[in-house]
């Protein structure tokens, strides 16, 4: 849950900021797949979401579920994104959400409880693939702010096919595998090496484990083998001058908002403080009041504000109203 976005919105800091999201593998499976159930709605109406899935029926279903009153632009497009424009085989699995451009390694999957029933190949389809860069060029889409990818082993291929537009991306959530669930697929180490070469920093990993299918026991200390997860990457725009991409205050504000909506509020706070101290002479980038107002949600922090250096550095930028909060 975001900490700062509501106050930033109320104070007008988001009025001129537009966010573009691309979700590759946008089949809606759970409540977390629906952006309207998350804090992204705060960006409305300045939010555009593009969803992509190789399954045209899944895109049609996702478009049909869109709430016409949601206040932002969202559309799901039946495209198979990969590293190149061409033809490929889609391995459609027993559970369609596990379908991939890589064939499932069924002998390996059988060793884990509950996987072969989901990921075994049901049938195959020949289809055309394109790249994220090609789509962006055709759609005249110059920037993407947040890129989310979940395409069952082909995630690095999507990233490579978007190497140009990736230079504009500020945050990425990408599914990674730590063991080859699909034959020949890239693993986390391959994705991480690629992302670091693009000036992204790994912030966190979610973990999904599975126990052995033939074992009647497992422990809470090691609940099976780590097989996959989601990796969260951000650009660190306030790092030393080695960054090759834009470091404007507008981009730093966007990055702070993305960090907050994705649950990395400590990073969001660092960025908002940086904005205030370096660009706070412009009221559009003076975040001091929004920071203090947001942190009022945490009485122990406000009641002991003198113990936290950030409040001392922001005092000269606070309005009289917010200064009174810290007395």
Query: pLDDT by residue (tens digit) across 177-207?
Result: 999 999 999 999 999 999 999 999 999 999 9
* Rounded Cα–Cα distance for residues 243 and 248 (Å): 12
Burial class of residue 121 in the structure, from the number of CB atoms within 10 Å of its CB (0-12 exposed, 13-18 middle, 19+ buried): middle
Instruction: Summarize pLDDT for 172-182 with one digit per residue, the tens.
Output: 999 999 999 99
In a domain? residue 131:
yes
Q: Is residue 120, in this structure, part of any structural domain at all?
A: yes
Q: Is residue 194 part of a domain?
A: yes
Question: Strands, E, within the chain: which ranges?
Answer: 19-24, 47-53, 73-78, 80-81, 86-93, 121-130, 146-149, 171-177, 200-205, 208-210, 225-235
Report pLDDT digits (tens) over 115-169.
999 999 999 999 999 999 999 999 999 999 999 999 999 999 999 999 999 999 9
Q: Is 285 a member of any domain?
A: no
Burial of 176-204, coded b for 16+ CB within 10 Å and e otherwise, reads bbbebbbeebbbbeebbebbeebbbeebe
Interatomic CA distance for residues 19 and 49, integer angstroms: 8
H-type alpha helices, 123-187:
132-139, 155-160
What length does the chain have? 327
Contacts of 294 (CB under 8 A, 6+ apart): 3, 4, 6, 7
pLDDT digit string, tens, across residues 89-117: 999 999 999 999 999 999 999 999 999 99
Q: Is residue 289 part of a domain?
A: no
Say if 317 falls within a structural domain. no
- Tell me the pTM: 0.95
Q: What percent of the chain has pLDDT over 70?
A: 96
Tokens, residue 238: 């306030």
Q: Tell whether omega for the bond before 25 is within 30 degrees of 0, i.e. cis.
A: no
What is the tally of structural domains in the chain? 1
Assign residue 197 the CATH number of its domain.
Answer: 3.40.50.150
Assigned domain for 81 exists: yes
- Boundaries of domain holding 127: 17-242
């Amino acid at each position: 849950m975001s900490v700062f976005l509501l106050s930033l919105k109320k104070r007008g800091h988001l009025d001129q900021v537009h966010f573009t999201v691309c979700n590759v593998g946008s089949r809606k499976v759970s409540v977390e797949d629906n952006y309207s159930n998350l804090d992204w709605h705060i960006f409305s109406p300045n939010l555009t979401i593009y969803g992509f899935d190789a399954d045209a029926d899944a895109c049609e279903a996702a478009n049909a579920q869109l709430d016409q009153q949601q206040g932002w632009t969202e559309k799901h497009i039946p495209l198979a994104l990969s590293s190149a424009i061409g033809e490929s085989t889609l391995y459609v699995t027993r559970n369609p959400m596990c379908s991939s451009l890589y064939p499932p390694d069924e002998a390996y999957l059988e060793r884990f409880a509950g996987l072969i029933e989901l990921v075994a190949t049901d049938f195959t389809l020949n289809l055309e693939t394109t790249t994220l860069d090609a789509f962006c060029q055709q759609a005249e889409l110059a920037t993407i702010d947040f890129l989310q990818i979940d395409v069952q082993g082909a995630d690095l291929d999507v990233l490579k096919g978007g190497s140009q537009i990736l230079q504009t991306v500020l945050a990425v959530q990408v599914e990674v595998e730590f063991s080859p669930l699909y034959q020949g697929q890239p693993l986390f180490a391959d994705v991480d090496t690629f992302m670091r070469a693009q000036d992204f920093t790994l912030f966190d990993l979610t973990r999904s484990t599975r126990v052995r299918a033939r074992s009647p026991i497992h422990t809470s200390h090691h609940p099976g083998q780590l097989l996959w997860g989601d990796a969260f990457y951000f650009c660190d725009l306030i790092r030393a001058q080695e960054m090759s991409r834009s470091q404007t205050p507008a981009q730093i504000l966007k990055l702070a908002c993305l960090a907050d909506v994705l649950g990395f509020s400590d990073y969001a706070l660092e960025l908002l403080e940086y904005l205030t101290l370096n660009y706070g002479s412009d009221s559009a980038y003076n975040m001091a009041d929004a920071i203090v107002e947001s942190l009022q949600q945490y009485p122990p922090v406000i009641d002991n504000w003198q113990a936290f250096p950030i409040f001392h550095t922001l005092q000269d930028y606070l309005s009289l109203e917010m200064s009174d909060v810290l007395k």
